[in-house]
């Protein structure tokens, strides 16, 4: 003999089952919405930096996607080439000069400084002794290191500073684009 359940009980079971499924789907979709980025080794970052320097004369061809326009420049999302970077872009300025730019946010000055020193160490190893290093402070209390090579129009600039938040920024491009005040 089968026990017959009241229809209101079956209705509640159906609602509970539907809600459980919806919550499971939501949690699964949230956990996969932003996949974890693969951590890049220092050796791979170094190889990518050298490829970017070589790509500068060709306006960073092969690194650009999702073109958009602003008043002062054209911006493309760019391939991430540096460990921990939050955003990388290629900028084409109205004067026709191009640069590759990455930034990564920090929780505080101490974290920005640590990111800066790690990236600076990678760059020093990558670029070697033919690149000259120039250091100076930023107006917000951070540091700026610029690497240049005699006979090359390309510079590699790394700095940490506070704008709205503490951050570290990598710049590869024309020296003349660095003539703006440093935060």
pTM of the model: 0.73
Residue 67 pLDDT greater than 90, yes or no = yes
Cα 145 to Cα 95, 123, 155, distances in angstroms: 25, 10, 10
- Is 145:157 a contact under the CB 8 Å cutoff? yes
What is the pLDDT confidence band of residue 7, given thresholds at 50, 70 and 90?
A: low
What CA–CA distance (Å, rounded) separates 22 from 14?
Answer: 12
Using DSSP, how many helices (H) and how many strands (E) does the chain show?
3, 8
Q: Could you tell me which residue, 101 or 93, shows the higher pLDDT?
A: 101
- Is 46:124 a contact under the CB 8 Å cutoff? no
Residue 32 pLDDT greater than 60, yes or no = no
CB-based contacts of 101, cutoff 8 Å, min separation 6? 78, 88, 89, 90, 91, 169, 170, 171, 172, 173
Burial 116-143 (b: 16+ CB within 10 A, else e): beebbebbeebbeeebeeeeeeeeeebb
Segment 10-22, tens digit of pLDDT = 555 544 444 444 4
Percent of the chain past pLDDT 70, that is, above it, reads: 73
């Amino acid at each position: 003999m089968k026990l017959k359940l009241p229809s209101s009980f079956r209705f509640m079971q159906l609602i509970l089952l539907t809600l459980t499924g919806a919550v499971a789907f939501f949690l699964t979709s949230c956990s996969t919405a932003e996949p974890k980025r693969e951590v890049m080794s220092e050796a791979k970052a170094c190889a990518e930096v050298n490829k970017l320097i070589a790509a500068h004369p060709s306006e960073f061809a092969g690194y650009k996607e999702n073109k958009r326009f602003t008043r002062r420049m054209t911006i493309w999302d760019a391939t991430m080439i540096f460990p921990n970077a939050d955003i990388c872009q290629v900028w084409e300025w109205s004067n026709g000069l191009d640069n590759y730019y990455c930034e990564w946010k920090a929780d505080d000055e101490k974290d920005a400084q640590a990111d800066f020193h790690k990236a600076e160490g990678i760059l020093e190893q990558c670029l070697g002794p033919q690149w000259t290093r120039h250091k100076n402070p930023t107006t917000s209390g951070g540091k700026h290191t610029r690497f240049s090579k005699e006979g090359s129009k390309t510079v590699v600039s790394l700095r940490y500073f506070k704008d709205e938040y503490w951050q570290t920024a990598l710049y590869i491009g024309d020296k003349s684009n660095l003539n703006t005040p440093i935060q």
